[in-house]
Amino acid sequence: MKSGALNRRGFLTAATTGLSALKSTGRTFAQDRPTEKYIPTWDSLDSHPCPAWFTDAKLGMYFHWGLSSVPGWAPRQGGTPYAEWYWHSMRSPENPTSRYHVETYGDVFDYDDFIPMFSGRDYDPETWIAFAVRAGMKYVFMNAKHHDGFCNWPSRATNRHVAAMGPCRDIAGPFVAAARSAGLKVGFYYSLYEWYNPLYTGKPEQYAGLIKIDDYVNDFMLVQLRELIDMYSPDFLYLDGEWDQPPEFWRTRELVAYYYNRALDRGQDVLVNDRYGKGSRGLHGDVYNVEYQYDNESEGLLDHPWSYWRGVARTFGWNRDTAPSDCLTARELIHMVVDGAARNGNYDLNIGPDADGNITRVEREPVEELGRWLAVNGEAIYGTRIHSKQADENIRFTARDGWVYAIFLTWPGDMFRLQGVRAAQGSQITMLGIPGNLDWRQEGETLTVNFPVHRSRPTHIAHAWTLKIRQT
């Protein structure tokens, strides 16, 4: 079946079913709220606190999986490195993805022709969640819908979803159930805009015979977001694809007020990120997302909860062309987690399963090593807050309950020297994962901790070493 017909059916259902569903209930988006603590104003929404569970958790895992995982390709050099942008990239003649697509699938093979190939035959959410737990994650999320508009839940607003096509079963529901069974918080990523949905683009001629409906936001997007909130009760929402239009266009303030109030009714502590609309990043939201460009964007975020969001590879969606050299090493992962925790940030680590639903070795192995490190050093990460001193060359600091954790990113030898840290009189200083107390001395603002000369560097701890100090 050619994708033109498939698109016409899918988007036509989006135009009629979503609208008729709202008309049949006689409700507007702003109605049907038992609780009205939050209203759609910046003052009201900005008063919403970021839940303690998020700032305690420090680590979350994002599974980006969907239709783009079938071609699963982006150029390692040049072009768009994000494989999940395959549909967008294949439509640009100068993009390497366009040439790859024609050479691999032919020039009459459209993006939606991948749908029958998206079987997800190995998809097992319990395996995914078990992997996240081994890696030390405290919350997980997956993409409900990316910019291509293909939905990972059975949306009434469109036929382009996994229960009607491709896997022919709900993907989101079992994921939520598996996460909650494992004691993890669980949420969704959702793209506000879609590249080629004619309800949004205003170009119905792209799909012959489609009758255009003007209201993409009210009759389509908000229908879908209410579905996710009401069907799955997510602990958080990460919005994206907001950059085309201001918050007033997307009506995100109404959406978030609805979500907050629904959560209050459920006794649930939830959060939303900062992607309300064009120009809103870093201004509103419970959490500010910093995507890939960590060093350039993280400045000034210490006073507000934030997360560093990136993949193990240089992409969110699976890229079959990824080489081990394209991926973060375990050392790099551990150092990013440590640095983020020291700077009041979380780490949202992305995994891109392949088209069948398998987590590939190049992404799995460094993440599992991160989990082994956290099994020893997690005390210095989970539940901590920033110390008055966050960093000193190759040392990062976190604090909790009167303790300071000094995490050394390089092994200094037999003497660990810290400037500006005062140990409490009689403090017992230890290294996490090593039995016994360490000898130390305080000379003014310099604290020197001695590692026994008869002991070699601990082999069961790699990449970073943590001193636990009771501070005055």
CATH of the domain at 24: 3.20.20.80
CB 268 within 8 A of CB 48: no
Write out the two tokens for 123: 């998809």
Per-residue pLDDT at 294: 61
Strand-strand pairing, 288-291 and 306-311: parallel
Q: Same structural domain for residues 331 and 432?
A: no
Distances in whole angstroms, Cα of residue 148 to Cα of each of 85, 300, 369, 371, 422:
8, 33, 33, 33, 54
Q: Same structural domain for residues 349 and 399?
A: no
First CA to last CA across the chain, in angstroms? 71
State the residue range of the domain holding 459: 385-470
Q: Same structural domain for residues 287 and 225?
A: yes
Q: Same structural domain for residues 45 and 148?
A: yes
Per-residue pLDDT at 135: 98
Q: What is the spatial distance between Cα 179 and Cα 188, in angstroms, rounded to a whole number?
A: 12
> CATH number of the domain that 464 lies in?
2.60.40.1180
Q: Same structural domain for residues 389 and 365?
A: no
Q: What is the spatial distance between Cα 324 and Cα 47, in angstroms, rounded to a whole number?
A: 44
Q: Hey, what amino acid is at 33?
A: R
CA angle 169, 173, 177 (to 5 degrees): 135
pTM of the model: 0.91
The last residue of a domain, from among 321, 352, 380: 380
CB 38 within 8 A of CB 48: yes
Q: Same structural domain for residues 177 and 214?
A: yes
- Which residues have a Cβ under 8 Å from the Cβ of 57 and sit 6 or more positions away? 138, 139, 185, 346, 382
Per-residue pLDDT at 336: 94
Q: Same structural domain for residues 324 and 443?
A: no
- Which residues have a Cβ under 8 Å from the Cβ of 93 and sit 6 or more positions away? none
Q: What is the spatial distance between Cα 125 and Cα 132, in angstroms, rounded to a whole number?
A: 10
CB 184 within 8 A of CB 129: yes
Q: Same structural domain for residues 446 and 425?
A: yes
By three-state DSSP, how is residue 267 classified? Answer: coil
HSE-CB at 254 with a 13 A cutoff on CA atoms is 16
Q: Same structural domain for residues 280 and 403?
A: no
Count: domains in the chain: 2
Q: Same structural domain for residues 198 and 111?
A: yes
By three-state DSSP, how is residue 321 classified? Answer: coil
Per-residue pLDDT at 458: 84
Q: Where are the alpha helices (DSSP H) in 3-49?
A: 3-25, 42-46
Q: What is the spatial distance between Cα 158 and Cα 213, in angstroms, rounded to a whole number?
A: 14
**Phi, then psi, of 346 in degrees rounded to 5:** -100, 165
Write out the two tokens for 372: 């082994």
Q: Same structural domain for residues 19 and 113?
A: yes
Average pLDDT, consecutive stretches of 10 residues, N- to C-terminus, the chain (472 residues) = 36 38 41 77 98 98 97 84 94 94 97 96 97 98 97 94 96 98 98 93 53 72 97 98 96 98 97 97 95 59 86 92 91 95 95 96 95 97 94 94 96 92 93 94 95 78 95 78
CB 221 within 8 A of CB 20: no
Distances in whole angstroms, Cα of residue 50 to Cα of each of 59, 62, 291:
15, 19, 19
The last residue of a domain, from among 380, 408, 441: 380
Q: Same structural domain for residues 155 and 91?
A: yes
